[in-house]
A = this chain, B = another copy of it.
Amino acid sequence: MRIPNADDVRAAAARIAGVAVRTPLLECAVLGQLAGGRIFIKPEMLQRTGSFKFRGAWNRLSQLSGSERRAGVVAWSSGNHAQGVAAAAQMLGVPALIVMPSDAPRLKIERTRGFGAEIVLYDRLKEMREEIGARIAAERGAVIVRPYDDPDIVAGQGTVGLEIVEDAAQFGIGLDAVLVPAGGGGLAAGTVLALGAAMPDAKVWCVEPQGFDDHARSLATGHRLGNEAGATSFCDALLAPMPGELTFAINAPRLAGGLAVSDAEVTAAMRFAFEELKLVVEPGGAVALAAVLAGRFDTKGKAVALVLSGGNADPAAFAQALGG
């Protein structure tokens, strides 16, 4: 598989301009006081479809040929890549079929269907989504749009990092670190590519739920390691079984490392985001914020950007987090 570079991220930025939302980089004074540094957030829940995933999906789908567009696309996703692909497909007039776990948040399934996609549900514990998706794609002659192991997807997600670089310059600062959530590692890979040459002193860390810290362990050993069976977390967006092949090839030599947070820390971060940031963050989107609030990352005297990657939380689950 071709490994994308910073030029691919810039090309993706040109493709998404005027289509994706240019989300801001916001300094959070209250968070800065708590953390003893300057803390900036990149609120990707404000992105079209409610997560950064639209960026990669648009970058991939907008480059399909005419015959590929007619054949349609197949994707698998717990819900955010699903919505990104479904929305991009709808805008481009491409038929989309999405394979989703039957226990995905109802909101994500409904929203994906709302973007006009056909949904196939599967049992996350008994079936392999890749097999189901590949079989359907073969039957239909459709194009598979992978959630992270795809150069165009990685380059698209990297526009998050590119915008962070551009907006940090407007604040007149260089960042010491950028913390990004990691499931399959596509956002981390795109971000570290975008920052590489433009802001070489900024270290990129990925953040995962405890029990799903496959990136942290893989980065520490230099080999792709999977998560142990039986682990659970309510961070539904970050439950990929192991780092992607392409994404790990990018991330292994470039990321500073991985951090892990507990579900309780994520719940506290969601509540903080509600009360102080006035943003709706889903569990998987809140892990970087959770890492800072829980003191798992030293922010003293540093300028740090946190990617809040999505906000597709079920209202009932969110209301419960607020009550906790």
Contact = CB atoms under 8 A, between A and B. Distances in A.
Contacts of A280: 274, 278-280
B279 A278 contact: yes
A46 B26 contact: yes
Contact of A322 (B46, B271, B318): B318
Nearest to A41: B46
Contacts of A48: 29
A315 to B, nearest CB: 4
A258 interface: no
| Number of identical protomers | 2
Interface string A264-286: 00000001001111111100000
Interface string A33-57: 0000000000101101010000000
A169 B298 CA distance: 40
A196 B22 CA distance: 27
A280 B315 CA distance: 12
A21 interface: yes
B107 A50 contact: no
Contacts of A318: 274, 319, 322
A315 B278 contact: no
A319 B311 contact: no
Contacts of A23: 24
A263 interface: no
Given A24-B24, A274-B318, A318-B322, 20 more contacts: A21-B26, A21-B27, A22-B24, A23-B24, A26-B46, A43-B46, A45-B278, A46-B278, A271-B315, A274-B315, A275-B315, A278-B280, A278-B281, A279-B279, A280-B280, A315-B322, A315-B323, A316-B323, A318-B319, A319-B323
Q: Closest 9 interchain pairs by CB?
A: A278-B311, A45-B278, A319-B319, A278-B280, A24-B24, A315-B322, A319-B322, A274-B280, A50-B278
19 contacts: A24-B24, A24-B46, A43-B46, A43-B278, A46-B279, A50-B276, A50-B278, A271-B315, A274-B280, A278-B279, A278-B281, A278-B311, A280-B280, A315-B322, A315-B323, A316-B322, A316-B323, A318-B322, A319-B322
